Structure 1
């Protein structure tokens, strides 16, 4: 499944050179992941309260390919690359007019109340697949 999330570059997102500050791409892809999970019908607050499960970034590999600038309309494209028992690997591309500006491979892990990896419930795995 592919999810598309639109984000506008504001002045506060840029550095002295007028391009998006590198760390802000991580904020863009985090917002997109949150909206993707919400679109799938997963209530993360309820998941934590009822199952004790939260997601944490375990690994992130990022490539900065071209700069985004003030007032650009960007699209974050999120898709599942791998799905395991306790982890999920996502590819997230930040694009402008179809051109990939930033690409990240993000490994998320499901953590239980003791902050150790736990197997995701079947219903959650099905939603994420």
Structure 2
């Protein structure tokens, strides 16, 4: 059950030639991840301020296929591939105009905002993530 959302590729996200500046993709991706957690009922403001839980990226492997162009509507698809004690393995596919622009394998980890150490996913968050878990032949369990 993939999470899907669309984001515009704006002027400020591009280099002078109108091609997406790749660090901008990462900023947009963080917003998509934030929206995903919000869709599960866990807005980051509550996670961070009230529950003192962070979700930092610990691994991100991107593969670029085609350039994104200013004005493109980026179609993000986020799939959960593994849930570990504290980790969450995700796959992203980003398309525009029906063509894949880039994909990513992404690991985030639940951490304490106070100690900056990994913590186990709280039971309610794990319960919300679990129905979204999609297995693939290339699945490698999270740790």
What TM-score do you get using the length of structure 2 for normalisation?
0.84
Residue of structure 1 in register with 2:140 after alignment: none
- What is the alpha-carbon distance in structure 1 between the residues aligned to residue 118 and residue 28 of structure 2? 25
- What is the alpha-carbon distance in structure 2 between the residues aligned to residue 95 and residue 82 of structure 1? 23
Residue of structure 2 in register with 1:125 after alignment: 126
- What is the alpha-carbon distance in structure 2 between the residues aligned to residue 126 and residue 98 of structure 1? 33
- What is the alpha-carbon distance in structure 2 between the residues aligned to residue 65 and residue 38 of structure 1? 29
- What is the alpha-carbon distance in structure 2 between the residues aligned to residue 12 and residue 49 of structure 1? 29
CA-atom RMSD, angstroms? 1.3
Runs of 4 or more consecutive aligned structure 1 residues displaced over 2 Å after TM superposition: 43-52
Q: For each residue in 1:95-129, what CA deviation from the matched residue of structure 2 results, as whole angstroms up to 9, or x when unmatched?
A: 11332101111110011121111001111011122
- What is the alpha-carbon distance in structure 1 between the residues aligned to residue 109 and residue 17 of structure 2? 36
2:57 partner SS: strand
Residue of structure 2 in register with 1:96 after alignment: 96
- What is the alpha-carbon distance in structure 2 between the residues aligned to residue 39 and residue 48 of structure 1? 16
1:23 partner SS: helix
Give 1:92 deviation, angstroms.
1.0
Aligned residues: 129
2:15 partner SS: coil
List runs of 5+ in structure 2 lacking aligned partners: 131-143
Residue of structure 2 in register with 1:82 after alignment: 82
What TM-score do you get using the length of structure 1 for normalisation?
0.92
Native 8 Å contact 1:76 1:95 kept in 2 = yes
